[in-house]
Structure 1
Amino acid sequence: MNKKNILRIAMAQISPVWLNKDKTIEKIKSFIIEAGKGNCELVIFGEGLLPGYPFWVSITNGSEFNSTIQKEIHAHYIRNSIQIEAGELNEICELAKKYNIAIYLGIIERAKNRGGHSLYCSLVYINAKGKIKSVHRKLQPTYEERLVWAAGDGNGLQVHNLKQFCVGGLNCWENWMPLSRTALYGLGENLHIAVWPGSDYNTIDITRFIARESRSFVISVSSLMKVEDFPNNTPHLKTILKNAPTVLANGGSCIAGPDGEWIVEPIVGKEGLIIKDIDFNRVLEERQNFDPVGHYSRPDITKLIVNRERQSVIDIIE
């Protein structure tokens, strides 16, 4: 085995301390430390894990206009979201540097360059030197998510070199957007990260599909959430629990190889790190007969345009 070919990855399938950013950060840090001590080179956390997915919307009549309940829960969500510019990920970045480990982390971002009050479902990549290299704001929130998250932009459609791999990532149903996938393929991606709020229903089909389409490794990482994970200080907790199912997110984290076959089948209901070594040479082997943006593409006929400008309502000219 050629060690240069091998990347040790850890999928952190965990629940948040829901809508408590400080305690969730502490939990995330503990799993980074565990992954680092296990000689992992990349650790991945689920969609919006910090501080949690907006489960209340679909079970508390989230579309009711001018609802006091929705406003008060939403305000609590904003207060526990992450403003990167304020240094709220600094401790996580320091651990990445200490343990020489790269991190993909799903956060709810309170973007300063968009006024600081609207929320974005963002996927943050931190390299092994502890530097934030990209913040991908989810391009299109899904269905009820649009009641709490704003639409992102193309700035985060970026890839990063990690040993011999080229890694990129998307949030949840973005993975079903063929042009978004193609943007990453065209940038050289061969290790695709798909983060989810947590459901084997979501991961069981698309993980293998993307792997087979792209001839890349695909790692799907999901979170967990049960009714007992709602903290007692959650606004309108009784209303939330009234219609909440016992399990809101059951995990389903998994890995498919470049041939589309399972390396790790979806794991349900188990909290902790799932660690696996992957071999870059498998990418080269499977690209022999198909490469969607290389020898099996026709850019003279079909071509994608990507706008990676970070969107803001103002341009300041001093």
Structure 2
Amino acid sequence: MAEPQTVRVAAVQLQPVLDSPDGTVERVLGEIAEAARDGVELIVFPETAVPYYPYWSFVMPPMAMGPAHLALYEHAPTVPGPVTDAVAGAARKNGIVVVLGVNERDHGTLYNCQLVFDADGRIALKRRKITPTYHERMVWGQGDGSGLHAVDTTVGRVGALACWEHYNPLARYALMADHEQIHCSQFPGSLVGPIFAEQQEVTLRHHALESGCFVVNATAWLDADQIASVTEDAKLQKGISGGCYTAIIQPDGSHATEPLRDGPGRVTATINLDLITKRKRMMDSVGHYARPELLQLWMNDCCQDTVTRGVTGASHHHPIPEETRHEQSEPEAPDGTTVTGPAPG
């Protein structure tokens, strides 16, 4: 019998440094080095960990958030840039796959961006949250479908979604259909209260079951002083407390280790990828349990450019470079015809 395919994975419940973006990056680099010394091969950080999640946007009226928003512009990294170069160097030096959430600045717009660095330091995936949630729409622009795919890394096929993207079943299905083995999810933490942690657990354990993959989820954590620095209103402080659920979930929906629900820290587990086949033998939702002649996902996985030069028509899009995405055939409609161009309707 073949040796089991094991991977040592970790999720970090990071405490950001709200008044020093460089401080947060230093903590990220320190966690990478420390985890690598413990034999970790894949490490996941929270949603927009660098420089920090915009907690103020949840408790401030839009008219008052200008200075905080402009500060986030100032501190947000570009991709690529010095921050990504530093993280890539740490991944390469320690031979570890890193999944990091950043506030990406692209000229005049910020994006909620997820980055997957392979163990050689290469950025294997850069994707932007497709729909910022509620208050976040005042802060970030919308991403597109170009990142809705899994990527091959030294630890297996990795996919990623941020926060309430997990409430978009078609986004999840896109990754499932691309046969992700390890799903890396990121939430802000220290938000909404304990019910947020409960909702994450329900959602992510279900995704593990439905997709037959492992889920590694990371959230952030703020202490009382940091919460007070965002708002002095005791009632509003409750809105940026709790909500922490850093966890590693197996394909049968069980926890690989006890989740971390409070305070900074890291959860670590050795996972056995053979358990994916054990689960999918019973229920493969994109294989023998699917009914493509009845139900299919249509998706536009092209980059959406503001300007297209030399081509007439607004429906033209530039595809993702082949080296950055998993090659797929053109989708087919239920009648067997190829689906091309913009979505129907």
TM-score between both structures, scaled by the size of structure 2: 0.82
CA drift at 1:229:
2.6
Ranges in structure 1 where 5+ consecutive residues have no aligned partner: 232-236
- Structure 1 residue matching 2:65: 3-state secondary structure: helix
| Whole-Å separation in 2 of the counterparts to 1:211 and 1:86 | 34
What is the match of residue 121 of structure 1? Answer: 112
What is the match of residue 276 of structure 2? Answer: 283
CA drift at 1:122:
0.9
CA drift at 1:302:
1.6
Name the % identity.
28
What is the match of residue 221 of structure 1? Answer: 218
Is 1:40 aligned with 2:26?
Answer: no
- Structure 1 residue matching 2:115: 3-state secondary structure: strand
What is the match of residue 314 of structure 2? Answer: none
What is the match of residue 234 of structure 1? Answer: none
Q: Which has the higher strand share?
A: 1
CA drift at 1:20:
3.0
What is the match of residue 201 of structure 2? Answer: 204
- Larger mean Cα displacement after TM superposition, 157-166 or 36-45: 157-166
| Whole-Å separation in 1 of the counterparts to 2:303 and 2:231 | 35
CA drift at 1:19:
5.5
Aligned partners of 2:227 and 2:241 also within 8 Å: no
1:299 corresponds to which of 273, 277, 292: 292
Instruction: Within 5 Å, give how 1:160-239 maps onto structure 2.
Output: 160-163=151-154, 165-198=156-189, 199-229=196-226, 237=229
Q: Which amino acid aligns with 1:245?
A: Q
- How many residues align structurally? 303
1:162–1:60 distance in 2 versus 1, CA, 3 Å? same
- Structure 2 residue matching 1:225: 3-state secondary structure: coil
Aligned partners of 1:164 and 1:280 also within 8 Å: no
Instruction: Within 5 Å, give how 1:90-105 maps onto structure 2.
Output: 90-105=85-100
- Structure 1 residue matching 2:39: 3-state secondary structure: coil
| Whole-Å separation in 1 of the counterparts to 2:309 and 2:26 | 37
Aligned partners of 1:207 and 1:255 also within 8 Å: no
- Structure 1 residue matching 2:185: 3-state secondary structure: strand
| Whole-Å separation in 2 of the counterparts to 1:241 and 1:264 | 36
1:260 corresponds to which of 227, 243, 253: 253
CA drift at 1:163:
4.6
CA drift at 1:219:
1.7
Q: How big is each residue's C-alpha offset from its partner over 1:198-252, in whole Å with a ceiling of 9 and x where there is no partner?
A: 1523322112111111121112211112342369xxxxx5x73335426624521
Aligned partners of 1:15 and 1:229 also within 8 Å: no
CA drift at 1:104:
0.5
Is 1:310 aligned with 2:310?
Answer: no
Aligned partners of 1:139 and 1:154 also within 8 Å: yes
Larger relative CO (CA 8 A, sep 6+): 1 or 2? 1
| Whole-Å separation in 2 of the counterparts to 1:214 and 1:208 | 10
- Structure 2 residue matching 1:273: 3-state secondary structure: strand
Q: Tell me the C-alpha RMSD between the 2 structures.
A: 2.2
Aligned partners of 1:7 and 1:163 also within 8 Å: no
1:136 corresponds to which of 115, 123, 127: 127
Aligned partners of 1:122 and 1:135 also within 8 Å: yes
